[in-house]
Structure 1
């Protein structure tokens, strides 16, 4: 558990970091871990040096009760020295534990944006999900089960993916001497004399069951990683794929044209939970899910999309084949979805719905630097940690207010209302007619309706439906709320019209909002830099006008030490973290709702 007020649990799959901005200057994680540098056997024996903690990756699998989990409170998950595959394994665990909510905070906004938008990284996360699921199933298997290899007397196959040779296959049943290759798996004794001796000993009652000579075979590994073993049957040599032997022994014989598929993408992992029968297309699809292609593929994913689109538009398939250097048949297969088809992602939603991504914003300079990357990053929740808050921060660029003014500040009549110049006269007229004073309405009612309906921000530039109906086209314009869920999009570059009719839903609102949650707090500890209360108050106002959740964590040690805050000091609140002693307008601790983007 943790004392951090906005989370329930910390999960450190990496510890240690390096400083990149003023917010790092008084890093609590560094101060804590460096206390134990050089202490033999201690978890922080290496102080705050960057250290991977792979042994902690699977911890969330043991947490049954849902909780908010702060990922890497003692490091930065997107630090440049953390390998991509380690990050992917962490995301795979998050995907496998949807009962939890994961909060990831970074100052490495560029790498976060790059990885979260990378199809290769998403494929690696998918592969790691499969790897972990297979591994967990293997760990639950228990004792190895060994059965006869179908069609190969003298050989055994195990559900762990091993192939064994037994007595009578390559050693004599009686004397255990070596059999010549042409006799392996065909007869049980190395010579007629040995066989007669065995029969005589048995007849005389002196027969002793020979010792088990089962021996695990060492397979060969091919260029694509598949493993084969050499088996003998009736004096003939056979080269068999290990995964096909396992499936045939524990599942069923292959149907015509079927291939064995390795679920986790590792062709050397022939344990039964990692195998299934499928077609060549299924194998190709698995590679695509895992973010890689056949090593001999001539096409990129973008080229395959071009071929499919151009073929659908009527272009000659022969011409397309010549242009892209492939066969007519391949063009037909791509056009009809038999090759390079999109993989259904119903079992794997990206971005992960339980993962919140955030950046640290200690001042306006860091806001201008990091927030643009955050809003370009797919996430169920995007948040800011303005802690330590070292100066005033204006977030309205990414959190525009829902209404042009608060409802209680709007005039009671349209005669006193001032429209922005960019709103067309006809749009103004229609809104004023609907919200007319003659019907007991006013600009205040119009603004309240924006909030009640969950409208997109007034004046925000959005891509929305152009008109109504089941599948209207999309158009880009500045949004003006009208009534209910109906609005207008003011168009800048359309010579034929000034605006478009549109409507909105919850998804539109989510897409319009760049930031979903803001945490504000002052610095604590020795040497803490002061945070002006007005900086935090201004953030709260900005969030309230944009209907963005806000969480004031603490007012900081400098505030708590101020003689004017004697109540906090008297009660031992050295961090200024007890809201009971704060001004009432700062006593707000809200959490966001995850949204579909």
Structure 2
């Protein structure tokens, strides 16, 4: 958990000069980092559990890496957390500035502090001071750093409307969104309106990359397949690379198997009927995502409606408009395919 190669699909390795965080929005509810930190609390990796902790010894690690890599910065924390001093953040940026062979991916839910710091001349001077301390005479550097991608988490429409404008107002070589866990439909240029053609993702400063994914883990909330498709379609319309990371715990159950003609009924034996039901149940949906929602503290929350009949009868009964058959496959079996293919697009790095 300190610095290592990783199974996260959109990066090569992680770098954690800081660990620990606190929850700020619904995307944090089932935080994987918190679970890991509590499991290993008191160890060298997490001496303070999930309390925000600075790890001095890890700051200089990238200076020793010789193989170029995409590096996810603070996969176990948030670089712009209020408990992280400006000076420490500046040291992180100084190391990134001195290692242009690597591409750093910085993801935050603290959009306001990121925008304020990275737009500040005082912070820029602080970064430069630390550069000179680490490598005296290292010369000038470009700002924003061309090898640093800045992203914000966007789990639903409320936070899209708040965080995306702040990101667009932040100096960055590459800007990206992480729509994971995706907890509702998201219009990247404002709320989705039926029949409206998608707007461009930005005029002037723009979003350069969008990641989407469902939630994994025992308390995972389900993602509606159409939510993912809508984000993909917006990206394609605007020419923005799209990366679909995972369905997560829940995924589409596309098989709606007709056991018998509803107008005729079953014509075979009882044994054949039992086998047909078992086969279609194994391939069919066990739950239906209703798309219904309720308002809680200004957030839309969605729930699953468990059908009251076996999925072999799903085709005969049909589904309400706007719903989709899904089931709890588990992350591995749910996979990463969307409409018959994987989506592994990346932005073109700055020169």
Q: 2:30 aligns with which of 26, 46, 54?
A: 26
**Kept in 1: contact 2:336–2:342 (CA 8 A):** yes
Alignment-derived partner of residue 62 in structure 1: 64
Alignment-derived partner of residue 325 in structure 1: none
User: Given the alignment of the two structures, is residue 591 of structure 1 paired with residue 283 of structure 2, yes or no?
Assistant: no
Q: Residues 577 and 352 of structure 1: is their aligned pair in 2 closer, same or farther, counting only changes over 3 Å?
A: farther
Q: 1:375 aligns with which of 165, 168, 175?
A: 168
Q: 1:387 aligns with which of 173, 180, 198?
A: 180
Alignment-derived partner of residue 574 in structure 1: 331
**How many Å separate the matches in 2 of 1:375 and 1:552?**
22
Alignment-derived partner of residue 355 in structure 1: 148
Alignment-derived partner of residue 10 in structure 1: 14
Q: Aligned-pair distance for 1:84? A: 0.6
**Kept in 1: contact 2:247–2:331 (CA 8 A):** no
**How many Å separate the matches in 2 of 1:385 and 1:15?**
20
**How many Å separate the matches in 2 of 1:130 and 1:61?**
14
Q: 1:545 aligns with which of 230, 237, 256?
A: 237
Q: 1:82 aligns with which of 54, 76, 84?
A: 84
Give the TM-score normalised by the residue count of structure 2: 0.72
| Structure 1 runs, 4 residues or longer, greater than 6 Å off | none
Q: Residues 374 and 527 of structure 1: is their aligned pair in 2 closer, same or farther, counting only changes over 3 Å?
A: same
SS in 2 for 1:104: strand
Q: Aligned-pair distance for 1:576? A: 5.3
Q: Deviations over 1:145-195 (max 9, x none)?
A: xxxxxxxxxxxxxxxxxxxxxxxxxxxxxxxxxxxxxxxxxxxxxxxxxxx
Unaligned ranges ≥5, structure 1: 135-262, 265-345, 399-403, 407-455, 462-511, 567-571
Number of paired residues?
274
**How many Å separate the matches in 1 of 2:32 and 2:8?**
12
SS in 2 for 1:358: strand
Q: Residues 457 and 527 of structure 1: is their aligned pair in 2 closer, same or farther, counting only changes over 3 Å?
A: closer
Say which structure, 1 or 2, has more relative contact order (CA 8 Å, 6+ apart): 2
**How many Å separate the matches in 1 of 2:124 and 2:333?**
41
Q: Residues 558 and 573 of structure 1: is their aligned pair in 2 closer, same or farther, counting only changes over 3 Å?
A: closer
Alignment-derived partner of residue 468 in structure 1: none
**Kept in 2: contact 1:15–1:72 (CA 8 A):** yes
**Kept in 1: contact 2:250–2:334 (CA 8 A):** no
Q: Deviations over 1:409-461 (max 9, x none)?
A: xxxxxxxxxxxxxxxxxxxxxxxxxxxxxxxxxxxxxxxxxxxxxxx969x86
**Kept in 2: contact 1:92–1:126 (CA 8 A):** yes
**Kept in 2: contact 1:555–1:575 (CA 8 A):** no
Greater fraction helix: 1
**Kept in 2: contact 1:386–1:520 (CA 8 A):** yes
Q: Aligned-pair distance for 1:54? A: 1.3
**Kept in 2: contact 1:557–1:574 (CA 8 A):** yes
Give the TM-score normalised by the residue count of structure 1: 0.43
Structure exhibiting the larger radius of gyration computed from Cα positions: 1
Q: Residues 385 and 60 of structure 1: is their aligned pair in 2 closer, same or farther, counting only changes over 3 Å?
A: same
Q: Aligned-pair distance for 1:564? A: 4.5
Alignment-derived partner of residue 295 in structure 2: none
Alignment-derived partner of residue 555 in structure 1: 247
Q: Aligned-pair distance for 1:72? A: 0.1
**How many Å separate the matches in 2 of 1:54 and 1:42?**
13
Unaligned ranges ≥5, structure 2: 255-281, 286-328
Q: Aligned-pair distance for 1:560? A: 7.3
SS in 1 for 2:243: strand
**Kept in 1: contact 2:225–2:252 (CA 8 A):** no
Q: Deviations over 1:87-124 (max 9, x none)?
A: 00000000000000000000000000001100000011
Q: Deviations over 1:215-243 (max 9, x none)?
A: xxxxxxxxxxxxxxxxxxxxxxxxxxxxx
Q: Following superposition of structure 1 onto structure 2, how do residues 33-44 of structure 1 map, counting pairs within 5 Å?
A: 33-37=37-41, 39=42, 41-44=43-46
What is the RMSD computed on CA atoms of the aligned residues?
A: 2.8
**Kept in 2: contact 1:579–1:587 (CA 8 A):** yes
